[in-house]
Amino acid sequence: MQKVRIIALGEDRYQVVSELHKLGIMDLRKSDLPIRDDVPPGNYTQLSDMLIKVQGALDIIGEGKANKGKIIPQKDIDAHFKEMESAIQRVYNLRDELQLIAEDNKALSNAEMIASSFGNLGVDLGRLSSGVLLFMATIVNDKQLARLEEHHRKLGRNSEIMVNRVGKNRNLVFAAYKKGDEHVEEMLKGAGEELDLHAKYLDSTPQKVLKSVAEKRAENTANQARAKKELEKLGATEHSKFALLRESLAIELARAEVSSTFKRTEKTFAIEGWIPKKRLSELRSSLHRITGNRFVLEETKTEELAPTLVNRPGFLKPFDYLMEFFSMPRSDEIDPTWIFIISFPVFYGLMVSDVGYGIASFILSQIIIMKTDPEGLMCNTAKIWRMSAIPAIIVGVLTDQYFGFPFDKLFSPGFQPVSWLGDITWIIILTILFGIIQVSLGFLFGFVNEWRHGHRKLAVSKLTSIVGLIAGTAAVAGIFFHALPTGVSIDAAAVSIAAILATGALSGIEAAEITNLITHPLSYARLMGFGLGSIIIAMLIDQAFTPNLHSGILLFVVYGAIFILLHFLNMILSIFEGIVQAARLNFVEFFSKFYKGGGVKYQPFSYKRVYAEE
């Protein structure tokens, strides 16, 4: 990556910005030149307002498939917006009309409920106003009604109450009382669900209210259907125009607001940013074409950390997403993502190691992918999980595990080059070997990173750590497990001790990590531990709860249910441990040897047209 500065004439500003936007190769940065900051052009606020209105209209009519159209030039955007303004306003008016209808329908439902509750009490709801009397109505249950009636009898004849049964354990209590009679008001308030007797549409007898409510609801239904139909028609006829205008406005707004990163003088402006070195000639050629060579393009020296350029195939993007979520690799260190891409699925496959569980992993991850946000953490993690299910199936075939059953027990003679129980010693050796290789690779990456930054002693201590790790492993294997001749084991132990002492002398940082030379490679034995544990549990479930029709239908069903449940729980545990432990081995045991992270992602000033073709 190279940081560059472009200086051009102010009159060429829009052409230069547009060209940079089209090229999409420059990650713009705020310039620190000691001159005035640039400001967005005068039409910035206007563009923003227009975009908000168009986006709002599209939100109302809904997103849909739009036909491609011609690009709207900057000079024609105002005219296109004015041409579409009446249609946009009509969309908003129809939205407001539908909202008013929805609110009115709520008022109608409320009026219908209250009028229905009064039934044949003979009360005119439109005349509940008096200079002397007040009126209240509430819905109470049977126990509350009994207490109210008893309380009312004790109050005497200063008020009247009427009761109407409106449903199971529901009663309407209508009361008329003199103004200032606080006893009645206290009696009714909080006793049940108080009704608003002055709500909209309560202007006549209950029967007439119900009739007018029905008529008004029919009118609202017709108006609602008409408004929805008109909105659908607008969506069908205007959606492509709205979408094209929104896209054009968004592009122009981005070009306007990016000016805040520029510097300017009376007649010139300056732009700074990062660009891949191999595209410098392309940028120079484009600027020459649009400005007639009236520009300066210079490569600048800076202490600023260059952004990290990530350019992996689309199906591997979820790994980049997860790395960015964890911590973006710095541009001045080795990117470990490729190792992570390989090791995570392999480790997961070893720990799950069952064809049935692998297929279930694939199906469950696919469901999550379909149900979650494509740009979210859950979806991207599920895509990694789906890829990791394939090694789990492959290892399951190699170890002949199908929900704990060997293949020949289910179908025919199986293929089993590796046995979890019969080859456990070799599996332990293999997993520890994985650890030695990956941890050593981490130290090697650390050596390269530190050497680049001029930390020579620390860099060399990474190499001595590798020697100490490999020689120490050989010494332990020979002395305690007799895997090597005694002489070789003693020599390996001596080399290991010397390497550890050298590591401590070269770097206090690495000296503090000496104990991890043993513990971190041994951590990879969990690949064997969790894989073997899952297989043994699956076998025990098969032995104890495999359903058999010879035991009778009832036991077959009971055992079948237990069999499925236990396998499901074992599968979930196996999947969970596989994901967590595979991530841990990479992020803790491997990354800790060299990885700093904290990088900034390369994000060029660019756009992608969807509704118009360049």
User: What one-character-per-residue DSSP string does 417-431 give?
Assistant: S--TTTTHHHHHHHH
Output the pLDDT for position 368.
94
Distance CA 80, CA 238 (A): 13
Give the list of residues 6+ apart from residue 207 with CB closer than 8 angstroms, or none: 115
- Residue 535: exposure state from Cβ atoms within 10 A (0-12, 13-18, ≥19): buried
Among 374, 366, 403, CA closest to 547: 403
CA distances from residue 226 to 230, 253, 340 in whole angstroms, order as listed: 6, 36, 57
Q: Map residue 283 onto helix, strand or coil.
A: helix
Task: Tell me the pairing of strands 2-9 and 268-275.
Answer: antiparallel
Distance CA 399, CA 416 (A): 5
The residues of the chain scoring below 70 in pLDDT are 64, 66, 156-157, 407-416, 420, 509-513, 515, 517, 614
> pLDDT, tens digit, for every residue of 490-546?
888 898 888 888 888 887 766 666 767 677 777 888 888 888 888 888 888 888 888
> pLDDT, tens digit, for every residue of 43-68?
889 999 999 999 999 999 887 676 77
Output the pLDDT for position 121.
86
Residue type, 543: Q
Locate tokens 């300017």: which residue?
Answer: 264
Task: Tell me the pairing of strands 263-264 and 36-37.
Answer: antiparallel
Distance CA 54, CA 557 (A): 60
Beta carbons of 213 and 112 less than 8 angstroms apart:
yes
Q: Which helix (H) or strand (E) holds 9?
A: strand 2-9
Query: Angle at which helices 526-545 and 337-352 pack, to 10 degrees?
Result: 30
Output the pLDDT for position 415.
57
Q: Which tokens go with 341?
A: 């891409």
Helices in 119-194 by DSSP H: which ranges? 142-155, 182-188
DSSP category for residue 309:
P
Beta carbons of 203 and 157 less than 8 angstroms apart:
no
Beta carbons of 240 and 66 less than 8 angstroms apart:
yes
